[in-house]
A and B are shown apart, each in its own frame.
Chain A
């Protein structure tokens, strides 16, 4: 299989996945407790008003008709209006999702910056003190819930030491980075633990591989072998893991944003679920799922580019 063919196939696989996502979201949202009409009008609404609202929202039509209308509007980028905020859901998503994406991106960067060097140290000093300390430390990190880590960082570095703000998002790009630093560290912890663990065993696997022995036998310098051969191959397996972790990372962002009062998509999700704001929950779920699918495809493409065996 050639690379373009691989890409075509991979993109084609997106279609059923996206359709399935839309069906699940459609069904789930219609199962949510309470109905939008009473959310808009309050509990003491007149029956006639409820009927009028339901007709306006198209909720009186049969489900397949509703689903078809839903598909058509999603395809044209129309996700309806927020019930509580009275503005288009797409607008809300454009406002809030970038915050979550920035947070996730910062967390991923921090995780890589922390995990890669430590993985090398652990792998090259396998079964020695440094290895045990690094692995033990990350093992503990992996067992800590996100909200707990966040709460402790918030208290120590925010409330007590006052090095960082205790929440919010700030104004201007640098201020955003400053506000998101603690949340990003919180979110990065478990990802860096998973990356470190995987990268460590990948490096060990590569170091023991025959082609590295061959390179060494050829008299190549150790550092060159490490970066040209070991790092590249170890990164391929890490990349796949990284793509798969994006969903977990976004899930973690929901909790992190709640703890740190960051006005991102995750926080909006929780607020909308409590506020029964159907269209927002629906739109956000779709947006997050699409974001994850696109990340999967991108990591697959990167992987195929780095490792020709993938397309075979």
Chain B
């Protein structure tokens, strides 16, 4: 790889744009009350299905709830989904992947078969099946995603650690008499974790899509909670007459998802060097 270090401090545009979107999203998620004009659950029976106006910029839904306030309050749940649904898979998958990639042999072969089997199940079907076993709700959704999701991280890290294991500095570590744990976690993993971190960003975007899909199907966040998928499901029977109930939460999903993928792309650029 012969890449010339270019203006070292100029960060790629996707990273800045994605970072800005996510910073704003996180702030809204932390303090939704500061930006939302109304209580997201307050019903106003005089203003049912009101179109967007100065008083209600995104209109109101069939209970007279302010759609803008609901979209803003939903940031709290949906940003949480992005983090909680991916944190365990990232940590656990990375640890398993590091060990499997370093040890190789039988554990690696067994792991390979587990990966084969897991990717053979349509991910969504498996998650839906697990959620229906455990019962609908966010907590069970995290468990269902966690049970399956770690495999993808483990696969990425295992492949990467395996490459690192063959390099000279790994041998040097062994020659120095370092423990296996020290070699793997202090020396190999920091060099192998980049693709997993990049995948984590993409995965958070996917988690928001998955979480809102389950909310839409009635298996994720439960009404009357403000969650984008739940909101879109709430509005689906009013699409022809009151499109604003479903359309605005969808735009929020797209923008947030875009934020994560841009950040992921930008990070990949910075960490790997521009191709």
CA–CA, A122 and B169, complex, Å: 40
Residues of B near A288 (CB, < 8 A) are: 121-122, 125
Residues of B near A222 (CB, < 8 A) are: none
Task: Convert A9-41 into 0s and 1s, putting 1 for each residue whose CB lies closer than 8 angstroms to a CB of B.
Answer: 000010011001100100010011100000000
Q: Bin the interface of chain B by size.
A: 35 or more
CA–CA, A49 and B129, complex, Å: 28
Interface segment, one of B58-66, B156-164, B243-251: B243-251
Residues of B near A247 (CB, < 8 A) are: 119-123
CA–CA, A142 and B257, complex, Å: 8
CA–CA, A140 and B262, complex, Å: 11
In residues 202-248 of chain B, which contact A (Cβ within 8 Å)?
A: 205, 209, 212-213, 216-217, 229, 232, 236, 239-240, 243, 246-247
Residues of A near B246 (CB, < 8 A) are: 148, 151
Min Cβ gap A75→B in Å is 18
Q: Which of B114, B217, B229, B253 has the most CB of A within 10 A?
A: B217
Q: Bin the interface of chain A by size.
A: 35 or more
Query: A289 contacts B120, CB within 8 Å?
Result: yes
Query: A254 contacts B124, CB within 8 Å?
Result: yes
Query: A159 contacts B240, CB within 8 Å?
Result: yes
Query: B130 contacts A28, CB within 8 Å?
Result: yes
CA–CA, A296 and B257, complex, Å: 29
Q: Which of B121, B133, B229 has the most CB of A within 10 A?
A: B121
Query: A292 contacts B122, CB within 8 Å?
Result: yes
Contact (A21, B258) CB under 8 Å given A28-B133, A270-B128: no
With an 8 A cutoff between CB atoms, is A155 at the interface?
yes
Min Cβ gap A285→B in Å is 7
CA–CA, A247 and B212, complex, Å: 19
With an 8 A cutoff between CB atoms, is B24 at the interface?
no
Q: Which of A147, A244, A266 has the most CB of B within 10 A?
A: A147
With an 8 A cutoff between CB atoms, is B116 at the interface?
yes
Residues of A near B117 (CB, < 8 A) are: 16-17, 20-21, 24
Query: B258 contacts A251, CB within 8 Å?
Result: no
- Identity of the chain B residue whose Cβ is nearest the Cβ of A208 in the assembled complex: B275
CA–CA, A66 and B195, complex, Å: 43
25 contacts between A and B (CB under 8 A): A17-B116, A17-B120, A32-B132, A140-B254, A143-B257, A144-B250, A144-B257, A147-B216, A148-B253, A151-B246, A155-B240, A159-B239, A248-B122, A251-B124, A254-B125, A254-B128, A255-B124, A255-B217, A270-B217, A273-B132, A288-B121, A288-B122, A289-B120, A292-B119, A293-B120
Give the A-binding residues of B (Cβ under 8 A): 113-114, 116-117, 119-125, 128-130, 132-133, 135, 205, 209, 212-213, 216-217, 229, 232, 236, 239-240, 243, 246-247, 250, 253-258, 261-262
